[in-house]
Amino acid sequence: LGEDFAEAQQKKANYDESQIAPYTLPDLLQTATGKHVSTAEDWTQLRRPEILALFEQHVYGKTPAPSTWGKVDFKVTEVKKDALGGKATRKFIHISLPEHPAWKGMEVMLYTPNGLGKPAPCFVGPSFGGNHAVSTEKDVPLSTRWMRPNKEKNIIDNKATEESRGNESSRWPLEMIIAQGCAVATYYYGDIEPDHADGWKEGLRAALSKDGAATEWKDGDWGAIGAWSWGLQRIADYLETDSDVNAKQLAVIGHSRLGKTSLWTGAQDQRFGVVISNNSGEGGAAIMRRNFGETTAVITKAFPHWFTKTYTSYSNNEASCPIDKHMLIALAAPRAIYIASAVEDEWADPKGEFLSGLNAEPVFALFGKKGYGVREQPAIDTPVGDTIAYHVRTGKHDVTSYDWEQYLKFVKRHFEK
Ligand code: GTR
C-alpha cells in the first residue's frame, strides 16, 4: 500500500506505554535442541547460526549464495584528488555482475581523507537520494535511476533533477567526517532496485533469478532490504582492494528503512566491525512485540517487498514469531553496535529500540564486552554505552550532525583500541 498508507497509520497508532500488552522475548541463549549457551564458543558455533537462519526464514529472506551472482566487476571510473577543497580524494566505482547484465550495476562514491598517512576507517551506507544528493559538489553525476516521487526534494516524474543536488547532504556531513580522518563510501539504494512493490522486477533480484521476473518471490526468498544489504557487502568487497581504506575498520550505517538494512548487513557480514542503526524502528531495532508506533501489521501492508513473504504472517501475531529484535542486535556481537533514536520519532518506538540493545547484553557478556551500563532509557542527548551504545536525541526522524558526532567518537573508540 506504500508510503501514504504508512503515513496515515501514524496518526492512528498507539503511543501509550500502558496499552502495551505484556510479552515474553524469545530466549537468546537457548539452542533449538534446548541447550543453554554459556560460552562465546557455543554462541558462535551453535546459537549464532541458528538465529541468523531464523532471520533469513522469517524476516529478511536468504541472500543467494555467491555462485548465484558469480564474478563481481569493479571499475574505478574517476579519481579526483582535490575534492572538498583539497581535503579529500573522491572516487567513483562502478560495480557490476558481468554474468547478469540485466542488472545495471551500482555507482559507488568514495571520499577518503588526504594526507592521513595511513588507510582510513570507512563508513559504508546507502543513500535515499543518490550520490549527487549526498554531496554538494556540482560535478557529481546526477543519478538517472527511478526515484520515489518527492516535489519538495525536486524529484520530478520519478527522476532526479539539477535542483535535487545536495538534498541529502545534511545527513552526510562529509567535511566533518573527513576532518576526523574517516572515509565514506555510499551508493543510491535504487541502484539495486526501485523501492516499491514491483521494483524487484527491474532490479538485482529479478536479474539473479532463473526466470527473471516471471516467478513471484516465495517464503524465505530475500526481500528488498536483503538486496540493498547485498549492495553494501559488495562495497566491502571493493574496499578490500582499495589501499586508501582500512578494510579492517568498516562501519555500516543507515537511517530508517536503510537503518534496517544496516542492521541486517552487520548481522550477515562480519567484516563490518561497527554497526550503526539510525532511527531504524519497526523491522529494524525496535522490539516487534511492543505495540507502540509502527507495527508488524502496518509495515508489512505498506512495504511487503522489504521483507521475505513469511514476515507478513506475524501481523497481529508477533508472539508466534521465533525472533525478536534483541536477537538481531546480538548478531553483531562481539563487534560494536550503536542504536540511535530521536525523541519526536515515536513512530519508530525509541524505547523499543533501546530495549533491543539492553536485551542483547547477555551475548556481548559472553565475550567480556559491556553494553549500555544503564537499565533505563537515558535522558535526551545523553549517549550511554560501551560495545553496545545508545542515544535518544532532541528532534525528529532524521540524521543530524549530533548523531554523526557520536558515531565518529564511537568508531574511533572501537577502532583505535
Ligand atoms: C516509513 C516507515 C518506516 C521507515 C520510514 C523511512 O514510512 O513506516 O518503517 O522505514 O518510512 O524509511 O523513512
Q: How far apart are the first and last CA of the chain?
A: 46
pTM of this structure: 0.98
Amino acid identity of residue 376, one-letter, is E
Please indicate whether residue 173, judged by its CB atom, sits closer than 6 Å to ligand 1. Answer: no
**How many helices, marked H, and strands, marked E, lie in the chain?**
13, 12
In tens, the pLDDT along 302-320 reads: 999 999 999 999 999 999 9
Going by C-alpha positions, the residue among 215, 190, 216 that lies closest to residue 203 is 190
pLDDT score of 214: 80
pLDDT score of 216: 80
Amino acid identity of residue 321, one-letter, is C
Cell 532526479 belongs to which residue?
160
Tell me if 294 sits within 8 A of 348, measured CB to CB.
yes
CA pair distance 257, 266, nearest whole angstrom = 15
Whole-number Å distance, alpha carbon 347 to ligand 1 midpoint, is: 9
Higher pLDDT, 215 or 100: 100
Which residue, by CA, sits nearest to atom 13 of ligand 1?
A: 256
CA pair distance 71, 52, nearest whole angstrom = 25
Question: Among the listed ranges 86-100, 148-162, 334-348, which one has the minimum average pLDDT value?
Answer: 148-162
Q: At residue 13, does pLDDT exceed 90?
A: yes
Are β-strands 159-160 and 155-156 bridged in parallel, bridged antiparallel, or unpaired? antiparallel
Q: At residue 210, does pLDDT exceed 90?
A: no
- For residue 278, the cross-strand partners are 255, 340
CA pair distance 414, 274, nearest whole angstrom = 8
In tens, the pLDDT along 134-165 reads: 999 999 999 999 999 899 899 999 999 999 99
The atom number, within ligand 1, closest to the CA of 282 reads 9
Mean pLDDT within 260-276: 98
Angle between helices 224-239 and 257-268 (to 10 degrees): 60
pLDDT score of 301: 97
Please indicate whether residue 171, judged by its CB atom, sits closer than 6 Å to ligand 1. Answer: no
CA pair distance 218, 215, nearest whole angstrom = 9
Please indicate whether residue 300, judged by its CB atom, sits closer than 6 Å to ligand 1. Answer: no
Q: Which residues contact 327 (CB under 8 A, 6 or more apart)?
A: 26, 28, 51, 54, 55, 360
The atom number, within ligand 1, closest to the CA of 3 reads 7
Mean pLDDT within 18-39: 97
Mean pLDDT within 331-337: 98
* Kind plus residue range of the DSSP H or E element containing 208: helix 204-208
Active site residue 341: no
In tens, the pLDDT along 35-53 reads: 999 999 999 999 999 999 9
Which residue, by CA, sits nearest to atom 2 of ligand 1?
A: 6
CA pair distance 214, 223, nearest whole angstrom = 16
Please indicate whether residue 255, judged by its CB atom, sits closer than 6 Å to ligand 1. Answer: no
The atom number, within ligand 1, closest to the CA of 10 reads 8
pLDDT score of 326: 98
Higher pLDDT, 218 or 100: 100
In tens, the pLDDT along 168-204 reads: 999 999 999 999 999 999 999 999 999 999 999 999 9
Please indicate whether residue 285, judged by its CB atom, sits closer than 6 Å to ligand 1. Answer: no
pLDDT score of 78: 98
Residue from 256, 262, 277, 280 carrying the catalytic annotation: 256
In which band, very low, low, confident or very high, does the pLDDT at 417 lie, cut at 50, 70 and 90?
confident
Residue % of the chain over a pLDDT of 70 = 100
In tens, the pLDDT along 223-246 reads: 999 999 999 999 999 999 999 999
pLDDT score of 217: 82
Cell 557490476 belongs to which residue?
96
Q: What ipTM does the predicted assembly reach?
A: 0.95
The atom number, within ligand 1, closest to the CA of 284 reads 9
In tens, the pLDDT along 280-300 reads: 999 999 999 999 999 999 999
What count of other Cβ atoms lies within 10 Å of the Cβ of residue 322?
Answer: 15
Q: Rg of the chain over CA atoms, in angstroms? A: 20
CA pair distance 243, 348, nearest whole angstrom = 38
Whole-number Å distance, alpha carbon 262 to ligand 1 midpoint, is: 14
Please indicate whether residue 277, judged by its CB atom, sits closer than 6 Å to ligand 1. Answer: no
Question: Among the listed ranges 88-92, 126-130, 208-212, which one has the minimum average pLDDT value?
Answer: 208-212
Mutate to test the pocket of ligand 1, among 128, 258, 294 (most ligand atoms within 8 A of CB): 294
Cell of 154: 525536486
User: Across all residues in the chain, what is the average pLDDT?
Assistant: 97
Active site residue 256: yes
Whole-number Å distance, alpha carbon 266 to ligand 1 midpoint, is: 20
pLDDT score of 1: 87
Mean pLDDT within 257-270: 98
